[in-house]
Structure 1
């Protein structure tokens, strides 16, 4: 009898415990907006930890009983009242260890996750959280192992995260300012990239006095933009002084050693583009050699060594570039970049190419001109280059809509990337890549650096491939560090690359588009291993689960989406001898329908 009473007591205790957790979660759901994806499984009175009727996104410390230990509510379009998130009911989940709200639509200040004492992992990337995070916000969160806050709008100083337990940190692509604390020096620069106002040893950028002061006091709105502008103006003035000191005729033939650690982009309205193109006949070109002549100043003297290799957007010189208004864009694997808007309205991106001292000027000219020659609707050709032993610049057109990576993981409306749009993007990428494989058929890596950040989008969502064909220009050691094709299995294992390495990169991009996940192949310290995920899903016959919920609701197209995932799996085959060729990949992609 005592045993029976004990058993009954245990069952009553277990049921009431589960109901408590279910009450807390239902209360949390009531304060969410656009939470219909949870309706079919988040049912009051049921056990969130029951494997047979598992609640979407809920993980438990022991399947079937005990407490909720994780909430993984990614890519569901969730938001809160006025964008904010109310965590009040979750504070009662005493065993909650991990929470992920990645790629939703939450906004407002940093939620009070620091009140969840046992939390080990926080994943908030791809939302619209903003404002400063108090420097001592995480001080009581002594168990943290993973903190990912990338692609939000957090501003102000970097919060102190000195926990010895912390293994993964990603604060990239926010609006953080000032010096990175020395206690966080164990993390790589990629954890802080996309925050141009940060400085310190981690990002190899010396802090100014103003930067150091800014970490201890609030700044007025727009002050960071002011300092960026003043810094650029100072750099341009320094360049001008160097140029005039070396060449009193002010011909800008030699580019000074100013700090061009960012890309510069220059935009040209379509009307200006047409007028510039129509004026080419009045410019001096060397038709016999097939090369553009050096740009001349109004006085008739040589103005620069900026060589135009594609005249479709007009002709301009280095002096025009140095007079342009400019802004820092950031650092990439191939070098830093600026955006520049010249006086005539032309907008361009200027990239500083690192470690490209392999060729003489003439050899460099031959190779770089290939980058300006492709004519295809899905290829963005280079416009001009500057060559000097110590400095090489590549100029291309600025595309206002930005990169595919930003659109996938940044701020956008929930219906902006529907299935027809994603399919059009994938097909355009495949067509552009197949064209490069024909155009540069004799090269080991016709593209070499295909990833979503190097795919720009036109206003009509047509993809434009950029950063292609650079493999022949750079040293092998730099290639391994900078080109994404060197992340292919054959490059990692055997230090071998081939056109099939491009196919592998294509597969990663397709999986990124189809799942909506940020691939860990781009950053090992963050994201999802999409290759392992798709292979496991295929082996367990659950590939449909990989489809981004934002497009998975189009049930009449799910079969076509699955076809695309199988194509991506074939592109990312680990054994490159079994991996499909580019032509076959493009043909298969072309057969997928809306």
Structure 2
């Protein structure tokens, strides 16, 4: 009886347990094997061709993000792989997207300047990606309209300098957090999607096959963002869409005219053409001898920004090797000069057509030598355009074709240039030579491969950017201040000893020792162009009262200090005032509230032991940018305070402590993508860069530079050393 009762009580529970076990077997998800970051990266590497550059560090049985043994091309944070920086390694093959998907912390990928081809990889399911850089490859084909539908976190997309075609994916216009978009130098066609993305600060759609009206949501960007698309109208292009439609209609009607009419026109056109050719030949024979002496310079003058495709883009314009966009038209123009006069003796006479040497430390060369060198377009800025040339002695130089420098006669100009050429300071880049002509002048300087501070802070974030740790940033600030103080001592009687100090005019040597450039031009530039050409005229007293003084240079120094500390692109660089960050007001408000530390660039703020010195330097930058010049720091006081901070930091062995500080990826810490938005390209491909770097209104080529690139991007002032 008791046994039957016990059996009766236990049987339901036993059946329930069996049911639960069966249900768990049926519905429990199949366990999957998740590979480690090491395994995923090695799997990715196997998909590459030509990956020998990774062999020495991508070693099995080692951790990718451990101490000094961090694998090449990785960005790490707290032992987690957060970014891939595999640009310029000669890679090809197929990118194993499945392997990438196994790297759970991955937020940014960069494969710029490699040789990948085929359709765009299947990144569309990697919804956590915040930055994708594929510029400078051979990718081709169309991109599906819904490709970016699931990439809600995407903030930066650089597909420039590939062979993509078809319509721009409409899903791009739906990305609410998009900050940078670079599609230039492809074959995209059709109309531009209706973007309404307030966060978009950097845009370049130039040199495609786009047509139709520019959407209202993109009207804030300058014409350079859309250049090279003959079918586009509206916006700032100066092309009325209604008129363009009428012209197209008229053109279609003309095509329907009769064959007889066409034949008559062809006969008339041929006759006129022959006559013009004969007349031109006669004129050429008459003036040939007279123009022989000026032939070289005139040909150089004819290389206009449009003809030379001067947009320098942030992503590739100035990477570690100072890669720049080479304009075939410029090369042809310059190579054609090799047929002219033989090599000059290069001696410093002031004759027309000669190159006057100011500094022979890099050798002696003449104008014909310069003209025979291969030319690489670097950029265009407020003062003119620039390109790189390699002399026969192997020295690389930057040639700047200056405009609006007509205030001095030949002798006065020569005296000013010789004064600049005599300067010698560790942190000052003096000119090597110049060429005088009434309307245009050439100024030749040494080429600095690492590029500008502007590019390294805001452009393609490769190895050089990763080395912008706290000690190196202090070293840069210290060098800029010392160089500026030297100019103030040498030109004590000048109202503007420098006049154009900004991050695009700070070049960095291999050890991050800064060189300030483009100084001392205030007396050479036409007064009507000063406010447009020189950054010192952006200081409050110049804007309000048209007054400048050495304190204006101090204001510029303060802007650069705040830019270095916050990592933000200053809106003060922009001619149209749109885009970037008002670092002066932003920092002043934070300091008054006692929260200045919160504004520091996350890539250096992780060095907790140095927060005190960072805050001190932030106060120096703020004191240099006081709106009242009387309350602004004196140059000597600014240098003294900076030196005190530098001594503390650089004597602490901070390099060792901060070696990985730059690897802090903001997107992991606070959700903000792969660092802050930056102006896009020297030409206003981005509301900020083009303007900021100093080209025209809204002109900045980060680009650069800045294909950045980009890129990328005219203004790279010294992104790609454009002038501004």
Aligned in 2, Cα 1:361/1:571: closer, same or farther, shift over 3 Å? same
1:375 deviation in Å?
0.4
Matched, 1:396 2:445: yes
1:37 deviation in Å?
8.2
| Alignment match of 2:627 (pick from 545, 549, 574) | 574
Assess if the C-alpha contact under 8 Å between 2:355 and 2:434 holds in 1: yes
Quick one: distance in 2 between partners of 1:85 and 1:492?
Answer: 50
| Corresponding residue SS for 1:535 | helix
1:148 deviation in Å?
3.9
1:88 deviation in Å?
5.0
Quick one: distance in 1 between partners of 2:285 and 2:609?
Answer: 63
| Corresponding residue SS for 1:432 | helix
Aligned to 1:554: 607
| Alignment match of 2:156 (pick from 104, 112, 124) | 124
Aligned to 2:561: 510
1:316-465 mapped onto 2 (5 Å cutoff): 316-409=365-458, 410-413=460-463, 415-465=466-516
| Corresponding residue SS for 2:213 | helix
Aligned to 1:183: 213
Matched, 1:79 2:96: no
Assess if the C-alpha contact under 8 Å between 2:176 and 2:197 holds in 1: yes
1:35 deviation in Å?
8.2
Quick one: distance in 2 between partners of 1:539 and 1:180?
Answer: 49
| Corresponding residue SS for 2:568 | coil
Output one character per residue of 1:447-496: Cα deviation in whole Å (capped at 9) or x when no partner: 11111111111111110111111111011221111111111111112221
Assess if the C-alpha contact under 8 Å between 2:428 and 2:517 holds in 1: yes
Assess if the C-alpha contact under 8 Å between 2:431 and 2:446 holds in 1: yes
- Structure 1: 5+ residue stretches without partners: 1-29, 40-75, 92-99, 205-240, 268-281, 286-291, 295-301
Output one character per residue of 1:84-133: Cα deviation in whole Å (capped at 9) or x when no partner: 99675869xxxxxxxx95xx67658999685379x9x98427x7887567
Aligned in 2, Cα 1:580/1:356: closer, same or farther, shift over 3 Å? same
1:391 deviation in Å?
2.0
Output one character per residue of 1:172-205: Cα deviation in whole Å (capped at 9) or x when no partner: 6x79534675634985775747x9978899689x
Aligned in 2, Cα 1:351/1:254: closer, same or farther, shift over 3 Å? same
Quick one: distance in 2 between partners of 1:242 and 1:453?
Answer: 43
| TM-score, reference length from structure 2 | 0.54
Aligned in 2, Cα 1:124/1:516: closer, same or farther, shift over 3 Å? same
Aligned in 2, Cα 1:490/1:155: closer, same or farther, shift over 3 Å? same
Aligned in 2, Cα 1:341/1:90: closer, same or farther, shift over 3 Å? closer
Output one character per residue of 1:298-326: Cα deviation in whole Å (capped at 9) or x when no partner: xxxx8932211222222211111111111
Aligned to 2:256: none
1:260 deviation in Å?
5.0
Matched, 1:115 2:149: yes
Matched, 1:259 2:309: no
| Corresponding residue SS for 1:340 | strand
Assess if the C-alpha contact under 8 Å between 2:124 and 2:150 holds in 1: no
Aligned to 1:137: 168
Quick one: distance in 2 between partners of 1:447 and 1:496?
Answer: 15
Assess if the C-alpha contact under 8 Å between 1:80 and 1:106 holds in 2: yes
Assess if the C-alpha contact under 8 Å between 1:503 and 1:582 holds in 2: yes
| Corresponding residue SS for 2:428 | coil
Aligned to 1:479: 530
- Structure 2: 5+ residue stretches without partners: 1-36, 41-73, 81-104, 113-120, 239-282, 313-320, 322-343, 650-724
| Corresponding residue SS for 1:401 | coil
My pick for the range that moved more, 106-115 or 415-424, is 106-115
Aligned in 2, Cα 1:512/1:380: closer, same or farther, shift over 3 Å? same
Matched, 1:156 2:186: yes
Quick one: distance in 1 between partners of 2:147 and 2:563?
Answer: 28
Output one character per residue of 1:391-434: Cα deviation in whole Å (capped at 9) or x when no partner: 21111111111111111112323631111111111100000011
Quick one: distance in 2 between partners of 1:244 and 1:547?
Answer: 66
1:166 deviation in Å?
6.7
Assess if the C-alpha contact under 8 Å between 2:570 and 2:580 holds in 1: yes
Aligned to 1:530: 583
Quick one: distance in 2 between partners of 1:406 and 1:242?
Answer: 45
Assess if the C-alpha contact under 8 Å between 2:352 and 2:437 holds in 1: no
| Corresponding residue SS for 1:473 | coil
Relative contact order: is structure 1 or structure 2 higher (C-alpha 8 Å, sep ≥ 6)?
Answer: 2
1:43-58 mapped onto 2 (5 Å cutoff): none
1:78 deviation in Å?
4.0
Assess if the C-alpha contact under 8 Å between 1:374 and 1:381 holds in 2: yes
Quick one: distance in 2 between partners of 1:491 and 1:81?
Answer: 42
Aligned in 2, Cα 1:259/1:90: closer, same or farther, shift over 3 Å? closer
Quick one: distance in 2 between partners of 1:397 and 1:158?
Answer: 38
1:370 deviation in Å?
2.2
| Corresponding residue SS for 2:432 | strand
Matched, 1:587 2:627: no
1:161 deviation in Å?
3.7
Greater share of strand:
1
Matched, 1:542 2:595: yes
Quick one: distance in 2 between partners of 1:158 and 1:479?
Answer: 39
| TM-score, reference length from structure 1 | 0.64
Quick one: distance in 2 between partners of 1:323 and 1:130?
Answer: 28
Assess if the C-alpha contact under 8 Å between 1:196 and 1:330 holds in 2: no
Indicate the RMSD between aligned Cα atoms, in angstroms. Answer: 4.4
1:200-349 mapped onto 2 (5 Å cutoff): 246-247=288-289, 251=293, 255-256=297-298, 257-261=301-305, 292-293=348-349, 304-349=353-398
Quick one: distance in 1 between partners of 2:286 and 2:643?
Answer: 55
| Corresponding residue SS for 2:403 | coil
Aligned in 2, Cα 1:187/1:391: closer, same or farther, shift over 3 Å? farther
Quick one: distance in 2 between partners of 1:166 and 1:539?
Answer: 32
1:342 deviation in Å?
2.3
| Corresponding residue SS for 1:255 | helix
Aligned in 2, Cα 1:542/1:363: closer, same or farther, shift over 3 Å? same
Q: Which protein is bigger by CA-based radius of gyration?
A: 2
Aligned in 2, Cα 1:284/1:425: closer, same or farther, shift over 3 Å? closer
Output one character per residue of 1:120-170: Cα deviation in whole Å (capped at 9) or x when no partner: x98427x788756766436467788996426x6864146754648577865
Aligned to 2:520: 469
How many residue pairs get matched?
450
Aligned to 1:47: none
